[in-house]
């Protein structure tokens, strides 16, 4: 089985900007540089045949390149306990349009449609069941901003869980006009 998601890797300078924020929150499991990405669609576990169908469907997506930038920070919680710290990405509209195209491609090969509202973000840290005290971090970085960067490609990633957390590997790369694909083996 392959655990997949579709994402954009921010450029190195923006990832460096994000890495510089990662401190001062107890119990935070900070993301490494290799883990920083802007998720466009979480897919989950699929077999090799379905994974290759997804890779093919994503190759049919075309979009006009656009620019986005980092904007602010926030958190997700589960049942009132913080489980994720993130950096926002704006503007939302072109990312949401690309997200919808990717979602339609996934649905076309038999996946259920995405049920959650799309909120563009880059995960900075995750927490265990105890959560963490994040208010000082949120206040300190509320005005986070970054230089605009061009979105002209996205990738299909595989996530493998290891002792040090998830390891992400790009298995297919797509530009705005289609894809140079590497099928799963």
Q: What are phi and psi of 62, to 5 degrees?
A: -125, 145
Q: Active-site residue 121, yes or no? A: yes
The residue annotated as part of the active site, out of 37, 141, 163, 169, is: 37
Q: Give the DSSP per-residue string, 80-149.
A: TEEEEEEEEEE-HHHHHHHHHHHHHHHHHTTPPPP-SPP--EEEEEE--TT----HHHHHHTTT-B---E
The residue annotated as part of the active site, out of 69, 121, 141, 163, is: 121
- Residue 173 and residue 170: Cα distance in Å, rounded? 7
- Residue 46 and residue 31: Cα distance in Å, rounded? 24
Residue 160: DSSP 8-state: E
- Residue 8 and residue 122: Cα distance in Å, rounded? 10
Q: Active-site residue 37, yes or no? A: yes
Burial class (CB in 10 A: 0-12, 13-18, 19+), 42: middle
What 3-state class would DSSP assign to 10? coil
Active site residues: 37, 121
């Amino acid at each position: 089985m392959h655990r997949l998601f579709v994402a954009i890797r921010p450029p190195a300078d923006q990832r460096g900007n994000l890495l510089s924020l990662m401190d001062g929150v107890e119990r935070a499991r900070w993301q490494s540089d290799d883990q920083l990405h802007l998720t466009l669609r979480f897919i989950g576990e699929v077999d090799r045949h379905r994974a290759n169908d997804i890779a093919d469907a994503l190759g049919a997506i075309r979009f006009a390149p656009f620019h986005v930038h980092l904007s602010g920070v926030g958190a997700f919680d589960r049942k009132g306990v913080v489980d994720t710290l993130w950096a926002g990405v704006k503007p939302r509209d072109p990312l949401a349009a690309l997200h919808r195209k990717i979602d339609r491609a996934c649905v076309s090969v038999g996946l259920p449609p995405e049920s959650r509202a799309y909120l563009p973000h880059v995960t900075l840290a995750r927490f265990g069941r105890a959560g963490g005290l994040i208010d000082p971090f949120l206040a300190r970085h509320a005005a986070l901003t970054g230089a605009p960067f061009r979105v002209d490609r996205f990738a299909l990633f595989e996530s493998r869980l290891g002792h040090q957390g998830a390891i992400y590997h790009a298995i297919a790369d797509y530009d705005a006009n289609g894809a140079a694909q590497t099928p799963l083996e």
